[in-house]
């Protein structure tokens, strides 16, 4: 009986230790050489409410006017998964990320289907989420179908000039060739 209890205790300790070891830190902020803060690794919108981020985030989010006429064609985006690589130090990311959030809010996109990852100036994230994803410029918005296959991406800025239009092209199966495509 004592032996069974001892084995059970060892197994329970192993499981709890493993679950602690596998948990990722969300909203990791680091300070760059120039003293400016940046997010690295996965983060959520709450991180953008912190000092150093909220000013540019709210400024762009509040001033952006969503192309409502294009929203109907991206309602199906809710059936996809988005992975967004940004540099919170990058002017393009600071422009496009708040715009993307506003568009996603308007179509009631499920937040559990959105993953936002901060990268440093070398396009590296804390946990290596960028590995094998060909992240050469930020922001990079990757759209995946339910089979977890990439169906399109937007790199740095929308080719059409509007995130709504580029997302509609991806959802409709006619993605535009992204900037910097080889």
Q: Per-residue confidence at 1, pLDDT binned at 50, 70, 90?
A: low
Domain architecture of the chain: domains with CATH: 26-172 (3.40.30.10)
CB 179 within 8 A of CB 157: yes
Q: Tell me the C-alpha distance between 31 and 10, whole Å.
A: 40
Q: What is the DSSP string of 60-104?
A: HHHH----HHHHGGGGGGGGSEEEEEE-TT-HHHHHHHHHHHHHH
pLDDT in tens, 146-157: 999 999 999 999
Report pLDDT digits (tens) over 72-106. 889 899 999 999 999 999 999 999 999 999 999 99
């Amino acid at each position: 009986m004592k032996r069974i209890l001892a084995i059970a205790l060892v197994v329970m300790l192993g499981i709890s230790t493993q679950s602690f070891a596998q948990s990722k830190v969300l909203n990791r902020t680091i300070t760059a050489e120039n003293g400016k803060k940046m997010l690295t690794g996965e983060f959520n919108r709450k991180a953008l409410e912190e000092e150093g981020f909220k000013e540019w985030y709210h400024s762009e989010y509040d001033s952006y006017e969503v192309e409502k006429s294009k929203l109907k064609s991206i309602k199906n985006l809710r059936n996809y998964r988005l992975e967004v690589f940004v540099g919170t130090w990058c002017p393009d990311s600071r422009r496009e990320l708040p715009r993307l959030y506003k568009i996603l809010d308007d179509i009631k996109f499920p937040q559990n289907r959105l993953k936002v990852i901060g990268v440093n100036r070398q396009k590296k994230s804390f946990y290596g989420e960028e590995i094998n994803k060909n992240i050469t410029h930020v922001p990079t918005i990757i759209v995946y179908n339910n089979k977890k296959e990439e169906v399109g991406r937007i790199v740095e800025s929308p080719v059409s000039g509007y995130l709504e239009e580029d997302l509609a092209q991806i959802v409709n199966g006619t993605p535009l060739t992204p900037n910097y495509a080889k």
